[in-house]
């Protein structure tokens, strides 16, 4: 069972935390500029691809997808999930210490809960081992 992650695997988890949250922020900023998309104006989705904020957001989300996929090759989905949630903490703390935004008590409790969630899963094994299923999968998948 793999209990101890390598430094490169911690780096992958860190990249998951940063790329998703910052990418989403860029996308939101871009979509604010593009305007509301509805069933009668679906062409705006194409137009959105030419917005620089949307483009940076897409690049960051491609980075997220690559690192997330890599993490899932050596860890369980339920192990990686809290790492993706930690991105919300990153955004909130950036707002607090970089943009000097006020963080309410409920937001601090939210940050604490997500940090606890990361701590809960990080203390356990990263992967559920079931050799029989893996053997069947390997035969079918490679």
| Angstrom distance (rounded) from CA 115 to CA 85 | 9
Helical spans, DSSP H, in 1-142: 7-34, 43-48, 52-72, 77-97, 105-122, 131-141
The residue among 64, 44, 68, 45 whose CA lies nearest residue 56 is: 64
Question: Each residue of 122-132: b (16+ CB within 10 Å) or e?
Answer: eeeebeeeeee
Q: How far apart are CB 32 and another protein at their closest, in Å? A: 9
Residues 68-127 that bind another protein (CB under 8 A): 68-70, 72-74, 76-79, 81-82, 85, 88-89, 92, 104, 106-107, 109-114, 116-118, 120-121, 123-124
31 is an interface residue for another protein by CB under 8 A? yes
Site residues for another protein per CB under 8 A: 8, 24, 27-28, 31, 35-38, 45, 48, 61, 65, 68-70, 72-74, 76-79, 81-82, 85, 88-89, 92, 104, 106-107, 109-114, 116-118, 120-121, 123-124, 128, 130, 133-134, 137-138, 140-142
């Amino acid at each position: 069972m793999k209990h101890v992650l390598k430094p490169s695997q911690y780096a992958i988890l860190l990249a998951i935390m940063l790329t998703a949250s910052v990418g989403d922020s860029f996308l939101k900023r871009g979509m604010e500029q593009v305007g509301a998309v509805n069933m009668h104006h679906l062409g705006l989705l194409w137009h959105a691809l030419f917005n620089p904020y949307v483009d940076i957001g897409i690049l960051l989300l491609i980075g997220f997808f690559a690192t997330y996929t890599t993490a899932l090759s050596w860890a369980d989905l339920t192990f990686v999930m809290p790492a993706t949630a930690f991105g919300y903490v990153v955004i909130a703390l950036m707002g607090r210490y970089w943009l000097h935004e006020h963080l309410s008590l409920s937001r601090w409790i939210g940050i604490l809960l997500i940090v606890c969630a990361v701590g809960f899963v990080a203390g356990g094994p990263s992967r559920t081992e079931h050799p029989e299923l893996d053997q069947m999968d390997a035969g079918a998948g490679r």
